[in-house]
Amino acid sequence: MSRSHYSGEVNESVIGQRVALKGWVQKRRDLGGLIFVDVRDRSGIVQVVFNPKISERAAEIGEKLRNEFVVSIEGLVVARSDGQVNTSMKTGKVEVQVDHAAIINAAKNPPFAIEDNTDVSEDLRLKYRYLDLRRPAMFETFKMRSDITKSVRNFLDREGFLEVETPILTKSTPEGARDYLVPSRVHEGEFYALPQSPQLFKQMLMVSGFDKYYQIARCFRDEDLRADRQPEFTQIDMELSFQTMEDIIQLNERLMVQMMKDVKGLSIEPKFQRMSYKEAMDRFGSDKPDVRFGLELINVSDLVKDSAFKVFSGAVENGGQVKLINVKGVAANYSRKDIDALGEFAAVYGAKGLAWLKVEEEGVKGPIAKFFEGEASAALITRAEAEAGDLLLFVADSASVVADALGALRLKFGKELGLIDNSVYKFLWITDWPLFEYDDKAGRYFAAHHPFTMPFEEDLDKLETDPASVRAQAYDLVLNGYELGGGSSRIYRRDIQEKMFSVLGFSDEEAKEQFGFLMEAFEYGTPPHGGIAFGLDRLVMLLSGSTNLRDTIAFPKTASASDLLTNAPSPVSQAQLEELSLSAKEQNNQKVSD
Amino acid sequence: MSRSHYSGEVNESVIGQRVALKGWVQKRRDLGGLIFVDVRDRSGIVQVVFNPKISERAAEIGEKLRNEFVVSIEGLVVARSDGQVNTSMKTGKVEVQVDHAAIINAAKNPPFAIEDNTDVSEDLRLKYRYLDLRRPAMFETFKMRSDITKSVRNFLDREGFLEVETPILTKSTPEGARDYLVPSRVHEGEFYALPQSPQLFKQMLMVSGFDKYYQIARCFRDEDLRADRQPEFTQIDMELSFQTMEDIIQLNERLMVQMMKDVKGLSIEPKFQRMSYKEAMDRFGSDKPDVRFGLELINVSDLVKDSAFKVFSGAVENGGQVKLINVKGVAANYSRKDIDALGEFAAVYGAKGLAWLKVEEEGVKGPIAKFFEGEASAALITRAEAEAGDLLLFVADSASVVADALGALRLKFGKELGLIDNSVYKFLWITDWPLFEYDDKAGRYFAAHHPFTMPFEEDLDKLETDPASVRAQAYDLVLNGYELGGGSSRIYRRDIQEKMFSVLGFSDEEAKEQFGFLMEAFEYGTPPHGGIAFGLDRLVMLLSGSTNLRDTIAFPKTASASDLLTNAPSPVSQAQLEELSLSAKEQNNQKVSD
């Protein structure tokens, strides 16, 4: 008999009905001649009871069951007696009296228990990913992932977007992260690259007049992995023609509002907060600030520029800043040793020191208090809106070090002091980005977003003369302190694109070799266009409440980019290499199987 | 002003309204002081008129317009005068009196006209793909592609399927087509492979209890390309647990019925025809027969086995067959020379000769007629249901050559004689496939579908003793003579999977090295499962009426797997190769740029 119900559907509403279940043995216990078995499938768990008085044959099967056996169960749904009701289970008011049962497949004892709160090592979970994915919380995450993409697709479809697939085997473009390469067998010595994003292809679709494109697109970066990076990741990718930055921002606000409603059942504010890059850095020391709490950075450079405390006045003199955060009411809880530890934490972000003051009724206390007496103290207290019991933490350094160090401290206190309401989702647009970042090591400018981002029209004349001051028509969407995605208006004129490549240090030949087709396309009637891309994996992570990106990907790679389940990457045969006209370097030949 | 309407929406219903359009100049002509311009966007074309009496400034812009300029147009929609109505255009009853106009971007004269019936070379179309995609028919195809996936997703979603993404960077499994390889930078000398299908991962998801999975999945094969093959292609991929082959067949019939309704507005028969592999080969000489027309293969081996015509009797004696097709009423149209040409056509499929007879009132005529007089002739005519004017074409050879040659001739006549109703969509299931195919050259069996296909339960005991006779729980879906996709029940027991690999010539070590994780997974409680995958590109091709698979892919590769737009594959830098510990072979080093 085929399945009549999923386990999770067997509740009070089907009492008195016969059901047929297919699932896995979650737990089995013998109690007074009866065998109780929890049968699990993707929907949940229901208790079934083998009673020899009801079916001796079924009870014999029940005897043989072990954890993770695959079973077929038929029987009558009955109400549990009052004392047996389990209110923590959605099927806890009923049980199934088994009259027919069969073992569909046996199972060895699994290397870890199939339950949500497992403390087994992640490597073991990845090696036995098919067991790890049996944990109900994992299924819920992938259900949510599927729900998110469904909601996004439905919204974009209603808005007239067309889903178009772009190639995975494409061209290597060294500007950006490191490419994964794919050797060509037909064209000896040549390579495809896996795309870091569908950027150029979606721009081509705009040149083609497709007008509104989207794709849930797989992208690839061969970078050293961090906890929140994977070699392959998925983007919600879109591009539109003839739309202003404002149009695109508002469209995506509506998208996110709808998605949060569909997936989380939450009504969020339809208009998101906006903040310039500069303001975000000034107030939060971050270009992706978590605005669910305050504890903002307070600039006191003007107050201390003439201070006798040379660390402060010197920093200002050298073009840097002095800023503080006011950690309210905690002064009494932080010993000198505790504050030293905070200093070590700040040092990771480049701060050479962490100055501090404790605020008391009579003024400020601490090693540097002597520099801030009378009016100087009062001015600081006023600026910091401080009161007795507050702890003021200062960093004096270049603007970027001050931002990094105090921004990180702010987040640390936000989490540790419970300042963050985790039930809240705060979306935030960051706008007015610089177009370029100067890299001291490379001695040249890099594109802050990517080389296809349109400058502000009014900054166009500074593109070559003062690149650092040129602003980009770019915008990032931040959620709870994470960058969800970034968008921009794109360059659609050849002359601007050429200047852009020139600032980035491309020779004319290099620009033509790598992006000639793009610049040529601009000459055949290219509409103004722009778009945005969101990291789907990160979105799932934030909405599922996970902190591990790998939990959002069905078959993820480890930090060394390995798949522990299938054992990829792996050696290939000499014959395969020869077909590709490749040889692995000598020192590795012994690793290549024959 | 932002766009108020797409061009294609400017019809009688908006007469008297002002509209704002954004689009491309399709055509411009001067007529008696007026300038008429067709403005195109993805929705269609509308005629706008520049009249200096309405706006001199706009008319000056109108003067400057050339084909493919990007323009912004504003004006009043008016009815065309009676003589000017163009009934072949959906906007042919109106025109827009331009009062504001702007050139958004200029355009060079394109290398080919943007219109549907272009005879320009495909290479040029691919190099300027962004212009090629401007042709309305191309946009329609991608709209249909988007509609197909939308319909499929909606259906599967309602059926409780979960969309799950599986990895693109995975493990090379030499059994099957040739893999695309991706060198690992972190693990020197090791490689990922791009998936030929998500087969193993979707099976893992079934082991995980995900129950119903689907994905619109990108797949890759490094094979020599034919007109209907691409290095990357897209599958509608699904897998289900605890469902019989019959359940899965019926589900997919409902899927296709719904999709044909959503996409083509057609109601097709909800129950598809079914045919065993053997019957398809016998009757049509093909495992993917086009059943929109007859002209079936007729077996006359029994009638000719004692014939004095040694070609026939000899073939039967050697274990082969003699079959014919009866091409009705065409005998008079085919000269000896014509029939010789048919023989050459048949020779391509391995036929050593093509015997023939023309049927006349008094019997059969032709070079071999002397062998078929009296009763022998009458028996043939009866079996072939022939009448005067028919042409009988015979092939005598091994069963497979007979099938190939007569099957191809059948299709050729079907097309050339107009026997096929192109408005009809005939879906057909092919069932009862052999599990293995023997490859004479390799001297071993290969899996006819793939090594994970479940044999018929009742054939299990012949798996090792008589592999050739074992039938597979596999089924293909055929549409109008094209294989749309194939599915099967999968092996879910380790012992059967081991036997399978053993028949395929794997040593225990090889099987374990490549598929150890699969066989281990089978021991941890694997449900019975099965699934199917359809070729999306081919489906789009058939429903859009195209004959070129490349027209269904936005950025396809050529027959030598090149992307003529971006120029992929291409050389990469020595630095990139070194990071991967690879060297291209010596003879190619000069092709690698530095």
Quickly list H helices, B105-228. 122-127, 129-132, 136-158, 199-207
Q: CB contact, 8 Å: B187 with chain A?
A: yes
Q: For residue B585, what pLDDT band results from cuts at 50, 70 and 90? A: low
- AA identity, residue B316: V
Cβ neighbours of residue B258 closer than 8 Å, sequence gap 6 or more: B151, B155
Which of chain A's residues have a Cβ under 8 Å away from the Cβ of B569?
169, 171, 182, 184, 187, 190-192
What are the domain boundaries of chain B? Answer: 7-105, 125-273+528-582, 293-420
Task: Report CB contact under 8 Å: A191, B572.
Answer: yes
The binding site of A for L-aspartate consists of 175, 221, 449, 490
Please give, rounded to a whole number of angstroms, the shortest distance from the CA of B471 to a CA of chain A: 22
Closest chain B residue by Cα to residue A212: B42
Q: CB contact, 8 Å: A553 with chain B?
A: yes
Q: How far is it, in rounded angstroms, from Cα A328 to Cα A406?
A: 15
Please give, rounded to a whole number of angstroms, the shortest distance from the CA of A394 to a CA of chain B: 41
Q: What is the ipTM of this complex?
A: 0.94
Indicate the CATH number for domain A7-105. 2.40.50.140
Q: CB contact, 8 Å: A41 with chain B?
A: yes
- AA identity, residue B473: Q
Using CB atoms and an 8 Å cut-off, which of residues 281-320 of chain A contact chain B? none
Amino acid B590: pLDDT: 41
Q: CB contact, 8 Å: B150 with chain A?
A: yes
Q: How far is it, in rounded angstroms, from Cα B41 to Cα B3?
A: 11
Which of chain A's residues have a Cβ under 8 Å away from the Cβ of B177?
none
If we measure between CA atoms, which residue out of A384, A208, A405 comes closest to residue A304?
A: A384
Q: What is the DSSP letter of B587?
A: G
Structure tokens, A415: 């989490």
The binding site of B for ATP consists of 221-223, 230, 483, 535-538
Phi, psi of A548 (to 5 degrees): -120, 115
Q: Give, in degrees to the nearest 5, the angle at Cα A554 between A552 and A556.
A: 85
Question: Most B CBs within 10 Å: which of A4, A129, A142, A165, as the mutation test of the B interface?
Answer: A165
Task: Report CB contact under 8 Å: B2, A211.
Answer: no
What's the pLDDT tens digit per position in B318-337? 999 999 999 999 999 999 99
Amino acid A592: pLDDT: 38
Q: Give, in degrees to the nearest 5, the angle at Cα B569 between B565 and B573.
A: 120
If we measure between CA atoms, which residue out of B446, B316, B493, B312 comes closest to residue B392?
A: B312
Q: How far is it, in rounded angstroms, from Cα A106 to Cα A70?
A: 6
Which of chain B's residues have a Cβ under 8 Å away from the Cβ of A193?
568, 572
C-alpha A24 chain-centroid distance: 32
Q: CB contact, 8 Å: B177 with chain A?
A: no
Amino acid A589: pLDDT: 40
Amino acid A227: pLDDT: 64
Which of chain B's residues have a Cβ under 8 Å away from the Cβ of A103?
none
Closest chain B residue by Cα to residue A211: B42
CB burial of B502-516 (b: ≥16 within 10 Å; e: otherwise) equals ebbebeeeebeebbe
Task: Report CB contact under 8 Å: A168, B167.
Answer: no
In 3-state terms, what secondary structure has residue A421?
A: coil
Task: Report CB contact under 8 Å: B194, A182.
Answer: yes
Same fold, B7-105 and B125-273+528-582: no
Specify the pairing of strand A355-360 against strand B298-299.
Answer: unpaired
pLDDT means per 10 residues, chain A with 594 residues, are 96 97 97 95 97 97 97 98 91 97 97 89 96 96 97 97 98 84 93 96 98 98 81 97 96 98 96 97 98 97 95 96 97 96 97 96 93 92 97 97 98 97 96 93 89 95 93 97 96 95 92 92 97 98 94 95 95 88 58 38
CA quadruple B21, B25, B27, B30: dihedral sign = positive
Please state the rounded mean pLDDT for residues B349-367. Answer: 95
- AA identity, residue A9: E
Closest CB from A162, A179, A522 relative to B143? A162
CA-atom Rg of chain B in angstroms: 30
Under CATH, what is the fold of the domain B125-273+528-582?
A: BirA Bifunctional Protein; domain 2 (3.30.930)
Q: CB contact, 8 Å: A527 with chain B?
A: yes
Percentage of chain B beyond pLDDT 70 is 97
- AA identity, residue B31: L
Structure tokens, A109: 């004892």
Cβ neighbours of residue B303 closer than 8 Å, sequence gap 6 or more: B376, B379, B380, B383
Closest chain B residue by Cα to residue A510: B593
CA-atom Rg of chain A in angstroms: 30
If we measure between CA atoms, which residue out of A123, A152, A255 comes closest to residue A564?
A: A123
Under CATH, what is the fold of the domain A293-420?
A: Gyrase A; domain 2 (3.30.1360)
Q: CB contact, 8 Å: B465 with chain A?
A: no
Task: Report CB contact under 8 Å: A570, B191.
Answer: yes
Q: CB contact, 8 Å: A461 with chain B?
A: no
Please give, rounded to a whole number of angstroms, the shortest distance from the CA of A464 to a CA of chain B: 23
Q: State yes or no: cis peptide before A569, omega within 30 of 0.
A: yes
Closest CB from B128, B163, B207 relative to A130? B207
Contact (Cβ atoms closer than 8 angstroms) between residue A480 and residue A425? yes
| Reduced 3-state DSSP string for A535-550 | EHHHHHHHHHCCCCHH
Contact (Cβ atoms closer than 8 angstroms) between residue A355 and residue A396? yes
Task: Report CB contact under 8 Å: B191, A571.
Answer: yes
